[in-house]
Structure 1
């Protein structure tokens, strides 16, 4: 069923379900659709005896290449992916809605680790998981620390000797950790712009981070490191359900006192104190140790690489999808990932 946004009681029930379900995550929350305010949201759910049993938060946007609407359910659905009947019922409802609203593609990328048997079960129902880095909306791998009831000191002792040394040296150097306020977002954004321009990568405008901070309220965590009474680096995290997730970090490296290591450990301590079970440092595109992103994140997650099950791309208009497919396959930089274009074409023949 399509959620009636005017039914306050039902909307609250929907929000509570996403926040409390063992399958819930912030990407599937209605808050996230408020952050992504250039997309059009729609929310679907199933009920049994007056209680929501499954949900799928979907956003859509006009795709300039396909010329039609792209419908996307980030890290959905919120239900047990092994319950094929439930997942199929949700997909059927969204498919019908998307077809009526000029959709050419419906994409789901569940927050579920890869399982061969689960992939096979879906394939029997003509639902095929795709792991094509050129056609994914989220990274196909993430680095996530499983806290498993450990104390901060126990986690620290389980880190490598070199990582422990980095963390401890930051305190000896006089680096200090701070939790920021809304008024500090501009400082964080300046760090982000400077770092991004050095690395020649894109970055989001300040108002995006203001929305994240405002929408998630006390569950958003803006943090900084300082040295010699000057802020030198920072980051932004979201706590939701059972996971504390790092969205962005910015360290222009004005000084190198291992401040980023300290920020990670302080946030791990916070995650433990707040009762989170997972500390998610986000996506990676390669496990090449020479890749800076992977090299940094693996140190604070015990190199726990989660290989996601992939995307369910449900094509609604083949001609429009062909345009989309060709465009992204040709423009993608294959040098940044662990697979080649040739191998992808062999694994997923058209």
Structure 2
């Protein structure tokens, strides 16, 4: 069924606590996305009327077509052994698809790549699934880097770090780097170092307005961390906490003070927030595992890997198709646009590399 107001409180309790839930499946995320996406939420019930599954569905109208794309980021929220719940959610999603003239429902659930029984269940339910897609062909990264916090203290986690990581954390403290939790009025300080990181590593950055919406929508479920040195912001991050997971959503550091290792100290503060809050996982979020896939993001993975966590590989994206002709047409157009985007980024990297070489000559 489509979520109604009389079930809203039950839904909030469910989505805030379910082990397979996350920040992108809560009503707060719909507020983050509201400038470009409409939304609906569907739920499944057992025979006693208890919620057994939910799915936040973002709805985006495609220009000049009258068609929409339905997207459920990291959804649905359910026990993946419960096939009945999946079918209930899909039936309700069909109502949403009819209402908005959708051609496809795209999901990227928290099913791991090795959980073939759940992949098969989704395929049996009618989803199309293409395995092993790389970063340029998925909405959410297939690989995340995470630290398992279950049953561990801060001392346990620190002891598990690599020796150099422990050294860098203490080095930052010893040299006067401080970490502070700030409100939205300091977002411009974070944005300055975030932009520098994007320029340095040749990746696109979100707008300051978008990051402000995250802080506004999530409220006390999000924190803005900023590292200072001599009163100047040198690193920062936006981190969320939802359903037992702390996620490092966005981060960056300036070019001038990276030798002081502020990001190591900041990560340690954010990990401690997760431990103090009783979270079971700290999620560094997306990574790539080879420099061939994306050299700049691979360097980010090398940094995250110094905290001695684990690589979590998700299965990827599942598409439930309502209009096969439109689906194939849009996929062709999407593939063409992706190819242009990849080419543009390669040219940008080549140009940046050439400029650096010229500066060094």
- Give your verdict on TM over 0.5: yes
Q: Structure 2 matches for 1:302-313, cutoff 5 A?
A: 302-313=308-319
TM-score, with structure 1 as normaliser? 0.88
Q: CA deviation at 1:41?
A: 0.5
Which of 272, 295, 301 is equivalent to 1:269? 272
- CA distance in 2 between partners of 1:265 and 1:216 (Å): 22
> Residue 139 of structure 1: SS of its match in structure 2?
coil
Give 1:51 shift: 2.3
Q: Is the 8 A contact 1:288 1:294 kept in 2?
A: no
Tell me, in whole angstroms, the C-alpha distance in 2 between the residues paired with 1:334 and 1:2.
41
Closer, same or farther: CA 65–153 of 1 in aligned 2, 3 Å: farther
Residues 114-171 of structure 1 deviation map (CA, whole Å, 9 limit, x = unaligned): 2123323444444343332344211111111111221112111111122222222111
> How many Å separate the matches in 2 of 1:44 and 1:19?
15
Shift in Å, 1:247: 0.6
- Could you say which residue in structure 1 is the equivalent of 2:18? 21
The answer to whether the Cα contact below 8 Å between 1:65 and 1:324 also exists between their aligned partners in 2 is: no
Partner of 2:55: 56
Match of 1:202 among 198, 201, 204: 204
- The corresponding residue for 2:326 is 320
Q: Give 1:195 deviation, angstroms.
A: 2.5
| 1:17-39 residue CA offsets vs partner (Å, 9 max, x unmatched) | 10022222111101100000120
Match for residue 230 of structure 1 among 229, 232, 238: 232
Does the 8 A contact of 1:315 with 1:321 survive in 2?
Answer: yes
Which structure 2 residue ranges, 5 or more long, are not aligned?
Answer: 346-361
User: CA–CA distance in 2 between the matches of 1:125 and 1:219?
Assistant: 34
By percentage of residues, which structure has more helix? 2
Query: Could you say what secondary structure the match of 1:309 adopts?
Result: coil
- Which shifted more, 270-279 or 314-323? 314-323
The answer to whether the 8 Å contact 1:66/1:321 transfers is no
When the two structures are aligned, how many residues end up with a matched partner?
Answer: 332
1:242 aligns to 2:248 (yes or no): no
1:329-340 correspondence runs (5 A): 329-330=335-336, 331-332=338-339, 333=342
Q: Which residue pairs with 2:144 in the alignment? A: 142
Query: Contact 2:103/2:323 (CA < 8 Å) preserved in 1?
Result: yes
Q: CA RMSD in A?
A: 2.2
Offset from partner CA, 1:220-245 (integer Å, 9 cap, x none): 11001111232211110011110000
Alignment of 1:68-79 (within 5 A): 68-79=67-78
Residue 197 (structure 1) shift: 2.9
Q: Which residue of 2 aligns with 1:127?
A: 127
The residue that corresponds to 2:3 in the other structure is: 3
- Would the aligned equivalents of 1:192 and 1:251 in 2 still touch at CA under 8 Å? yes
Cα displacement (A) at 1:293? 1.7
Q: Is the 8 A contact 1:234 1:251 kept in 2?
A: yes
Q: Which residue of 1 aligns with 2:191?
A: 189
Unaligned runs of 5+ in 1: 337-350
Match of 1:40 in 2: 38
Q: Deviations over 1:309-328 (max 9, x none)?
A: 22111122222222222233
Residue 341 of structure 1 aligns with which residue? none
TM-score relative to the length of structure 2: 0.86
Q: 1:278 aligns with which of 256, 281, 302?
A: 281
Corresponding residue SS for 2:51: strand
